[in-house]
Every structure is written in C-alpha cells, then in structure tokens.
Amino acid sequence: MKKPLPKSFPKKSASVQPSQTETNRLIELFNQNKNDELEKVARALLIKFPKHGFTWKVLGAVLQRLGRLEESLEAKKKSAELLPQDAEAAYNLGNALNEFKKLDEAEASYRRALKINPNFKKANYNLGLVLQNLNRTTEAEESYQREIAINPDFAEAHSNLGNMQKNLGNLADAEASYRRALVANSRYVEAYTNLLYTLAHNPDAPPEFAFQEALRFGEIATQGVQPLIHSPENRDPNKKLRVAMVSGDFWNHAVAYFIEPLLACFDKNQFELVAYYNHTQNDNFTQRIKSHFAGWLDVAAFTDVQLAQQMANDGVDIAIDLSGHTDKNRLLAFAYKPAPIQVSWLGYPATTGLRAMDYYLVDSDWSPPGLLDDYFVEKLVQLPSVVTFAAPENSPPVVNSPALKNGHITFGSFNRTSKLTQQTLDLWSKVLNEIPTAKMVLGNVSDEPLQRQLENEFFKRGVAIERLTFHAKKSIPDYLALHGDVDFILDTFPYNGGTTTGFALWMGVPVLTYAWKSLAGRGGLLMLSRVDLQNEFVAETPEQFIELAKAWSENVEGLQNLRHQLRDRMKNSSKSKPENVAAGLEKGLRIMWQRFCAGQAVESFTIPTQLQL
C-alpha cells in the first residue's frame, strides 16, 4: 500500500533542523543498505522537520531502492524545491523524471543542476540521453562532449557520443569515439557492438577489416566464460524441438514486421516456440507476437549468466538470436552456449563474431553460396527464401505517380540518417545534377540542425536547397501516406533499406538500389527480388545507378503501371509467402538438429528451392 508523504507542520517547527547525530544516522543506514529501517527513520524525521531538504533527498533515494518510483519522484521534487542551490537534488530529480519519460521536465532539472555546478559529473551525460530521446541529435552530441571534457574516462559518454556522430553521418568520428570508449574500458562490449554496427555503414571499411573486428569482439566476449554442458540424453533426431527466439524487438520495430508473419505458420506439432524478450517496451505488436509462442519470458532484468542458465534449464534445443550487434542484444548470454545449436538471423546483417554461434540464415538472392561465407564465423545456411514482410495495418491506398501531376520526378528516401554516408550523398547528388528538374523528399529528419547540415551537404554538391523537402519522423499511417509524394526511392549504401524498402513496395513505390559487397548492402536486392524487380532496379556500379535513375525518370508511364502492380506482387510472391519461408526455416532447423544428433560437424548446407517454392 502506498504510504502518504508527511504533511507540512506549522512554521515554528519547520524552521528547526535535525541534530548532526540524526543526520549521521541517516547516512549510516543509507551506506549499510538498511532500506526499510532508513525509510522509517526518514519519515519520522520529516514529521518533526518537514522542510529539511536533505532528509527528503535521502527518502527519495531509499524509495527508489525499494522500487517505489512514484513516491520517490514526489520526494525528489520536494528535495529540489527545498534545496534550490543543491545540484545533486536537481540532478536526482532529473533522473526520476527521465524514468517516467517526462523528458522536457527532466531536461530542465539537468540544466538547473548544471547551472548550479557546471562540472557535476554525469549531469551532461544524462542530459544528452534526454536530448537524444527528443531527437535533438546535435544538442545531445554537444552534451556528451561536455561530459567527456569533465570526465574523460567515462566510457559510456564516449560510446553515446559515437552514436550521435553516427546518426549525423560522421562515421569516422563515431568509430574514433567507440575506440576511446574501449580504451577507457576494454570490457565495455556495448561499445564494441556499436563499433561493429557502424562499420557495417561505412563503405571505407573493407569486409575483411570488419570481420577481424568481429573476431576481436568474440574474444573479449568469451574471456572467462565457461560454456554450459549439454546432456547427451534426448537426442532423438525426430523429436519435437524447443526453439527459442531471443530479441529486444518484439514491438513496433523493424524486426517485428519480418518475424510476425512467420510465427503463425510454424508446425506446432514439430516445433515448440519460446520467446525471451529483452525489452520493457510493450505494444499491440508485442501482444500479437506473444500469442504465437508457447512460452514467453521477459528477461531485460536478467544478467547474461542468468539468461544463459534459464535457457539451459528450459531445455532449449535451438536458440535463435534476432538482434546481432543491434540494441538490446543478448550476445553475451549466447557466449555461454545455452543451447546445443545457436543461430543468428534477421536483426543484424553480418557475423556476430562469436564462435559459440553455429549458423546464420540467408538465401541465394541475399548471399549466393561462396560470396560472403569467408566473412562469417557462423556457417551460412541457404534457405529457399529468408524473408517475408507484414503489411502494415490500415495502410492508405496506393495513389498515382506524382510526376503525372507535377510534371517532374520526385525521388525519396526514408532511411535512418545514419545511413546517409558521404558516398550516398555523392551518388544522389550526381543523379539530381543529371536530372535538373527532379526534386527529392527526405524523411526521418527530426533534428533541425541536422536538416541544415544535410542541406549544406547537398548544396556543396551543386544541388539547390529548394529542390529538397524534409520531414520529421511520423506515425506509421502518415509515413506511409508520404509515399504518395514520391515517384521512386533512392536507396542508401553500403547499408541498404530493409523495412523502408518493404513499406515502399507495399505503397507501390519502387526502390533503386546499389548492391554492395556485404549482407547490409544487399538488403535492397533481397527485397526487390521478392517482387521480381532485381533486373530493373538493382545497380552493380554507381554509373549504372545513375543510368537507371535517368531511364526510369523518363518512363513515367512505366512507373505508373508498376505502382499499381507492386502491392499485388508482394501479396502473391512465392518468395514472400510466410508459409513458404516458415517451411524452409523448419526444414533448415530440423537438418541442424539431425546433424547434431549424428555427431556431425557444423557445416553450411542448402535447402533446395523447389522443395518449398
């Protein structure tokens, strides 16, 4: 039951302060973690001295320890009110407000703390986190830089600074920040994950280099790790398999659009699906996805060892990582080998670098046999098709090509700004300069300084600002409707669009992509091959990209006809049908298990396409 906070007593008593002995008692109990006793002592003091700010500060801290966050927030508000020149009180209130996603109020509290004490450690860092969540990327970058000036060995600040630099397209700076984070803390694996993810965006990072960095991550992640031992019992090659999916993306996230359609198609007589969900975010997607699993466990609060042991205790036969080196991953749990067979797929288009991971799932469109095998520690399994896509609910109808009424072509891009590499901007600008009447719509640009930066990048390349239209991040229905302003999409490289390409095709908008020498750079090809556009909209060189852009810009009738075919193509594509993708995946998982039961080595293999398609 929620306990009421002490009420104010008459002013005469309120002016009296606790004795030093009473104050020391609070500090002693706090340091000894005697939280229940500390709460009683603090509340008793506040009955006598209701305007003693320090006691309110202590009460706020102990209530947080006890998990009573709403009461903690109220106590911290009182503390900050009574101690207007106490930076720590303002900082603590900022943290509490941030917990409740009251971002504007949290920002004000952190700024108040910094006004009182500009060198207050972690205040700039936490302010940066708030600004980051408010999509004020450039301001967040400045906050992290101020934190580093005060606290140069703070690894998390270096890593988050790298994230902001990556989002601003400054990949070399981001890489340097992640490396500084690793100098500050060589075991800070999140910085390594961020580094690897950034290298996947960088066209100047050869695949061989990124692969070697992934191997170094694997070495760090497995230092001191003792793999779990799996009993040789119950190795029936034909038994019902318990298959675990581990992800932090079972919500309105890109991965959910790809995984949800498959779940309903699994043969529940042959496979028992269980989920280990590593996020506190829950929405309609979460509830729908959850309904397809026989078991579901929220594991965001689990340590890596606890999660690994839980999976082993649950008797998982095959564990599938759906995150790779993206946010909310649990790769360190996979390092303990909690399942006899471990697979990475979908969330991250590159190797995990973990020797404990056995397989990675691809198809021949995404990675023909032998093309990228040398850049994976995992063995590549060729499925008939590796990806389907969930049509968004309540999608707006497909509309005519805007060129019919505008009299000019409008290109578009709705990818993350971290994908807008200098090389991508170079190529897009060459296209726009070759087609001087064309315009371009860029979405997902919620930060005004970032918009100014992009305008300047295009201007330096000879593209007038008047030809560009920017849009902030939108709700899904509004974002889908925005495709009505675009004739066709120009893809990014070397990290192509995935979900954005699926959305575009669903809205009847083709995507011109430049296929790169990595899985990340072949995502456009993968999606376009689902609708048989791999010959018309996939370029193998920058020159071909420009030529295809020019050719399609002169073929408005062709774009119009295609526009009203694409949704049906997606619905009817044999490669995209969830039942086909699920059947191929089931066959692959069964072969992995049969090979394990037979004591055979982990090796690449192929499921013949004709079995499913």
Q: How far apart are CA 611 and CA 508, in angstroms?
A: 30
- How far apart, in Å, are the Cα atoms of 162 and each of 165, 418, 444, 451? 5, 11, 19, 19
Question: Do strands 359-363 and 379-383 pair parallel, antiparallel, or not at all (unpaired)?
Answer: parallel
Closest residue by Cα to residue 311 from 246, 377, 391: 246
SS3 370: coil
The total of other beta-carbon atoms located within 10 Å of residue 226's CB is 9
pLDDT score of 446: 85
Nearest C-alpha neighbor of 595 from the set 586, 607, 605, 582 = 605
pLDDT score recorded for residue 254: 86
Q: Please calculate the CA angle 57-62-65 and round it to the nearest 5 degrees.
A: 135
Query: What is the rounded CA–CA span in Å between residue 408 and residue 390?
Result: 32
Other C-beta atoms lying within 10 Å of the C-beta of residue 8: 11
In our burial notation (b when 16+ CB lie closer than 10 A, e otherwise), range 451-468 reads bebbbebbeebebeeebb
Distances (CA, A) of 471 to 93, 398, 417: 34, 20, 12
Looking at domain 403-572, its CATH architecture is 3-Layer(aba) Sandwich (3.40)
Question: What percent of the residues of the chain are helix, what percent strand, and what percent coil, each to the nearest 5?
Answer: 50, 10, 40
Q: Indicate the fold that domain 241-382 takes in CATH.
A: Rossmann fold (3.40.50)
Q: How does pLDDT run across 301-348, given as a tens digit for each residue?
A: 999 999 999 999 999 999 999 999 999 999 999 999 999 999 999 999
* Spans in the chain with pLDDT lower than 70: 1-15, 610-613
d(CA 351, CA 341): 16
389 residue type, one letter: F
Residue 130 to residue 366: CA distance in whole angstroms: 38
Class of domain 11-211: mainly alpha
- Provide DSSP, 8-35: P--HHHHTPPPPHHHHHHHHHHHHTT-H
Tell me if 429 sits within 8 A of 497, measured CB to CB: no
> What per-residue confidence (pLDDT) applies to 160?
96
Query: Rounded CA gap, 81 and 76, in Å?
Result: 8
Sheet containing 439-442: order of strands: 468-470, 439-442, 410-413, 488-490, 511-514, 538-539
Cα–Cα dist 139/184, whole Å: 24
User: Where exactly does CATH 3.40.50.2000 map onto the chain?
Assistant: 403-572
> Taking the model in full, what pTM does it have?
0.88
- Using alpha carbons, select from 387, 386, 362 the residue that is nearest to residue 376: 362
**Confidence (pLDDT) at 7:** 47
Residues 245-297 have pLDDT tens digits of 999 999 988 898 899 999 999 999 999 999 999 999 899 889 999 999 999 99
- What CA–CA distance (Å, rounded) separates 43 from 61? 13
- Cβ atoms of 259 and 245 within 8 Å: the answer is yes
Looking at residue 609, its pLDDT comes to 74
Pair 244, 272: CB distance under 8 Å: no
What's the token pair of residue 552? 């399609």
What integer pLDDT is reported at residue 3 of this predicted model? 55
Q: Where in the chain is the domain with CATH 1.25.40.10?
A: 11-211
> What average pLDDT does the structure give for the chain?
93
Helix (H) or strand (E) holding 503, with range, is: helix 499-506
If you count DSSP H runs as helices and E runs as strands, how many of each does the chain have, helices first? Answer: 27, 14
Residue with tokens 């950034």: 198
DSSP-assigned letter for residue 609:
G
298's tokens: 């929220």
**Which residue in 476, 479, 480, 516 sits closest to 496, CA to CA?**
516
Which residue intervals of the chain bear CATH 3.40.50.11380?
241-382
Q: What is the DSSP code (8-state) at residue 485?
A: G
Reported as a single tens digit per residue, the pLDDT across 99-116 is 999 999 999 999 999 999
DSSP 414: -
For the chain, how big is the Rg over CA atoms in Å?
27
- C-alpha to C-alpha distance for 328 and 63, rounded to whole angstroms: 27
The single-letter code of the amino acid at 228 is L
d(CA 188, CA 154): 11
